[in-house]
Amino acid sequence: PARVFESEENCLDAILAGKIQAGDVIVIRYEGPKGGPGMREMLAPTSAIIGAGLGDSVGLITDGRFSGGTYGMVVGHVAPEAQVGGTIALVKEGDSITIDAQNRWLQLNVSEQELEQRRASWQPPQPRYTRGVLAKYAKLVSSSSIGAVTDLGLG
């Protein structure tokens, strides 16, 4: 079942408190280029999963990023990210998720009708930053699927 967290910190707290079990699929959202902002690396949660002895029995899906040394069933750079209403924003606690790494396939096992209802009621959260360089970055950055760049086409 999906275990849904709105931030890396909330997820880490749950792992360290022993609230994650074998078979869970952790979903950490709102950590993508716009939501993070900056596509934060999920090193702390992945390390905690390994430290808890769950590296071979727990999945982790995020719109954040991983380093090259990440171990386990992890799916990162999910796009469109949660902050802009991607499907990852519609996942609910307890949803069934299938990860087929061999075929590079990720499936939220919820009917299209249910997804449409969730999409219709979804509201974007307030940005983490409303002033300063991180607010500007979040406003300008593109999707991770095209490089998470801030190219304004001025060059």
| Residue whose C-alpha is closest to residue 34's, from 151, 128, 131 | 128
Domain range summary for the chain, segments of one domain joined by +: 2-146
Would you write out the chain's pLDDT as a tens digit for each of its 155 residues? 999 999 999 999 999 999 999 999 999 999 999 999 999 999 999 999 999 999 999 999 999 999 877 888 999 999 999 999 999 999 999 999 999 989 999 999 999 999 999 999 999 999 999 999 999 999 999 999 999 999 776 55
CB 54 within 8 A of CB 74: no
| Residue whose C-alpha is closest to residue 60's, from 17, 14, 103 | 14
Active-site positions read 67
For residue 54, CA distances in Å to 8, 18, 93 come to 17, 11, 19
Q: Radius of gyration of the chain from Cα atoms?
A: 16
Cα–Cα dist 30/147, whole Å: 17
| Residue whose C-alpha is closest to residue 118's, from 107, 127, 129, 110 | 110
The answer as to CATH 3.50.30.80 being correct for domain 2-146 is yes
